[in-house]
Structure 1
């Protein structure tokens, strides 16, 4: 983790950029994305997608990466990956991403971006890669040995960011080391060869950590997520099965009542109300009344998304066209950047 001093510097820089974006959105290019390891859920929406839509609508040029190659950094299979990708695109568009403004593209479809790995790997040491806390955390979480792909994961991310010369990347605090390594790679390349790349900044997310239905972080692997693609009936069943406790008086107490508090936070996010206010309203109604309120809140919030998504699902040719156009745009950018890199390195023959 970054030390407190460096975090404070990063936070101040992030806040300054946010303020400037409101005035000069065209001065920035944002790269963001997800790994297609499953369906997107409410945690993704409130944690990142909502902010992407806001940035797009503010006029910030944005590119969204679906990082299919990165699925195999910590998994032995690519089962269901195509289905996951198509569903991801539907959720992005249903949530407000406009593919005419914001290209959505696939990692494996942009070879020139991945080719940047070779010169970039020459700019980092093994010790720097070994120190990266995210690599260690991913390895421990997956239970896998440290593969070459996982070890070089931060360099892949540098390629993803720098190929399109993105200068801002939305991140959580734990991802700041990735941004710092990307900045170092850009700086070292520019110094060794020629100035080609910007040094990007992390835009720190101001979203709270979205709890799952069991009080832990919302995660596909925990099975505690409300998927954006779930039906109203599926959502109701999932909420009904969630853990509460025997105290009928509903209170917001994340430490001592994680299940009850997670449900209150879910309802608060979907209604724009405060958890304490909702808890006081339900009072002695108990877990049943709480779950009923949460179910209604979530289903009402997701109804427009589900309606748009259902329409998109009827036209898979359009979804594939969105990806083809996004891939085409990303390839044009990547080829231009790779040509600059070759020229800077004297590798034009």
Structure 2
């Protein structure tokens, strides 16, 4: 279902940024991109079940099934042009559906656990760095930069997985150095900083992305900043695994660990000022029409007046151009050169920081 607070008119909501059925250049690029990507995902799938002698065969079946459906989508472009939208979200969702079908429920599980443990061990130090910044604007700028730098840690992005595989010491500070310098490609940071000088939000709903550095060292310090302003926070994570994205179940466990490192988080977590919800999604993207009832009820009951969407899948592949019924902050690093250029940027790791007022009702 949809939240009427976030989506007053679901009939006009279109999550997908691209339509491969009408945009030939986008179709040329993304069909090839997914063709290459599936081979990598098949390798990850096998590695995740090395002890199972059937893993290689199942991964080959997964890859063949994916390529077959990809060809079908491509073949149907002339027929479907103008009749139905084919977004990159559909091709990302297909990947997760087929991985599960062939017995690979969570290929990145081991990686997620390693990265979560490593990030939790660094959380206290990161919070101390942020608390040492006395100026409010400087601190909030660094909190936003932290979310963006954290969003670099995405095993689904080829450019990033190459960096992470080659440099085991690549951490948050390395990522802070790599992201685009201001002015960013889409830069509404000053509007966000000005908004923070006003009344605190009652409740923020925050849709998170990757495990490890992203959620622990990027998102949680930002969320802590909101909590310190008196804003209640609903953290929303995937219902099912997708790439290295954190699931709601994993996020609850992570918050138990992280609250031991920070009094603000501990208090909010134990007193129900910080809550975790499943977002109803089974892929790395976000369709606001398919949120669970429990989450929609919580959004309404808490008079949610701020929506934060983080990451490429949820804030770029989907929802970049969508308007919502409350103030919205969309944060992502573009980890794909083609998409950066398509959106008017020059370089990889261009930044989207889009702050929008509530859409007129």
TM-score > 0.5 by shorter chain: no
* TM-score normalised according to structure 1 size: 0.31
Larger radius of gyration: 1
Higher relative strand content: 2
* TM-score normalised according to structure 2 size: 0.30
